[in-house]
């Protein structure tokens, strides 16, 4: 997912990245049990569930934040790598897991998803065909690194096409007026957000609502060119209180406005409330983590190195656990608690096992000889 360079480590970015991955794990438990009509999942326990508000709070912004951080990290990485080194590294860490990883491990999630969706393949379907269907169905969270790999290659084209010195001079001048840079980024991304949704969410074309390549590439470039500036970091840290109050207000409004509705449909995602809530939350978290979390601990170091692996394997663990727990007669509150525990513990265990198997760790995680690479 892109990491900051060891020569100049921005710990607040590392910490914000792994915390966001943790929130993704939490989200997928509530997503699996949602009753709001969100496409996929296992199904809820009642027609209306107050706990579904967790998905409404998290979904509008966490992937935007992930791509923004990836863009920032790409800029720091390219300060100490050639374009060729960057491309080779991204191929190993992003392309390999999102292609070979599907053949080695992703197909498991594919079959779990088919079982969760009630899909049964006829007996006469050849085993190879069933396997390929499982591979395709098992993409799951890998859409993020598929997008990110393409964006990384496009970034090299953009950098080569633009006059680097002129761009850097312009950014240096603009960085002295941080608020205008942030406003420009917001207006740009709000415009892109409104142009990258389709209405047919249950067709192949509906994949655009997941990959959203135009919007997320815009986020990625904004992270690379604007939010990699330390002046912008410092500005957001100074304004964290104002940003935080704005975010709380918009979060409450957004949750009240769309409570009980499918928060993934174009009508919601293209709206101004979603755009400003997404942006204010993103800015607030960057400023807050810059001010309070620009350091590391042994646990934070572990999560920094492990969050990518946890992200890749968590959906298989999460959906399997939720599917089994849904079939029990346990109280609803205990099902959620056990699903959260199983998702976190199972993901850590699976990551720790798979990363120690040489060929598997290369295919699934893009890890070379060192398990800490």
Is 193 in contact with 200 (CB distance < 8 Å)? no
Look at the alpha carbons of 253, 254, 257, 260 in this order and tell me if their dihedral is positive or negative.
negative
Confidence (pLDDT) at 5: 46
Look at the alpha carbons of 219, 224, 230, 231 in this order and tell me if their dihedral is positive or negative.
negative
Cα–Cα distance between 178 and 223 in angstroms, integer? 14
Cα–Cα distance between 186 and 283 in angstroms, integer? 10
CA-based nearest residue to 75, from 229, 189, 290, 283: 229
Can you give the residue ranges of every domain in the chain? 11-28+48-299
Residue 170: which residues within 8 A CB-CB, separation 6 or more?
Answer: none
> Could you list the mean pLDDT of each consecutive 10-residue stretch along the chain, which spans 373 residues?
58 96 96 87 88 94 94 92 93 93 88 74 69 80 93 92 71 66 71 58 56 86 88 90 93 93 85 88 95 95 96 95 92 96 97 94 84 49
Cα–Cα distance between 170 and 45 in angstroms, integer? 54
| Chain centre distance of CA 141 | 8
Cα–Cα distance between 309 and 290 in angstroms, integer? 25
pTM, entire model: 0.90
Is 273 in contact with 320 (CB distance < 8 Å)? no
SS3 of 359, please?
helix
Q: CB-based burial of residue 263 (10 Å sphere; 0-12 exposed, 13-18 middle, 19+ buried)?
A: buried
Confidence (pLDDT) at 145: 95
């Amino acid at each position: 997912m892109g990491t900051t360079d060891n020569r100049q480590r921005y710990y607040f970015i590392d910490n914000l990245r792994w915390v966001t991955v943790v929130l993704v794990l939490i989200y997928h438990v509530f997503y699996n049990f949602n009753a709001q009509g969100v496409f996929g999942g296992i199904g809820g326990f009642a027609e209306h569930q107050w706990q579904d508000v967790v998905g409404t709070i998290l979904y509008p912004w966490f992937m935007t934040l992930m791509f923004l951080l990836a863009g920032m990290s790409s800029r720091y990485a390219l300060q100490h790598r050639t374009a060729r080194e960057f491309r080779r590294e991204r191929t190993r860490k992003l392309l390999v897991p999102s292609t070979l990883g599907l053949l080695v491990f992703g197909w498991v999630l594919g079959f779990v998803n088919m079982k969760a969706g009630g899909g049964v393949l006829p007996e006469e379907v050849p085993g190879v065909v069933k396997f390929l269907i499982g591979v395709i169905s098992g993409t799951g969270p890998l859409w993020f690194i598929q997008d990110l790999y393409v964006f990384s290659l496009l970034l090299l084209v953009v950098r080569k096409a633009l006059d680097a010195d002129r761009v850097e001079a312009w950014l240096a001048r603009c960085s002295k007026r941080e608020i205008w840079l942030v406003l420009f980024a917001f207006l740009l991304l709000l415009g892109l957000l409104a142009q990258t949704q389709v209405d047919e969410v249950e067709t192949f074309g509906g994949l655009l609502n997941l990959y959203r390549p135009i919007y997320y590439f815009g986020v990625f470039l904004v992270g690379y060119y604007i939010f990699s500036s330390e002046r912008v970091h410092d500005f957001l840290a100074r304004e964290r209180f104002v940003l935080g109050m704005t975010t709380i207000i918009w979060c409450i409004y957004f949750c009240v406005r769309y409570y009980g509705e499918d928060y993934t449909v174009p009508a919601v995602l293209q709206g101004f409330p979603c755009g400003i809530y997404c942006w204010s939350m993103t800015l607030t978290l960057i400023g807050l983590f810059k001010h309070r979390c620009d350091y590391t601990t042994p646990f934070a170091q572990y999560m920094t190195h492990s969050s990518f692996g946890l992200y890749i394997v968590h959906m298989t663990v999460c959906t399997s656990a939720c599917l089994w727990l849904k079939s029990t007669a346990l109280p609803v509150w205990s099902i959620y608690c056990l699903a959260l525990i199983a998702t976190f513990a199972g993901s850590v265990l699976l990551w720790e096992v798979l990363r120690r198997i040489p060929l598997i760790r290369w295919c699934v995680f893009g890890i070379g000889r060192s398990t800490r690479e």
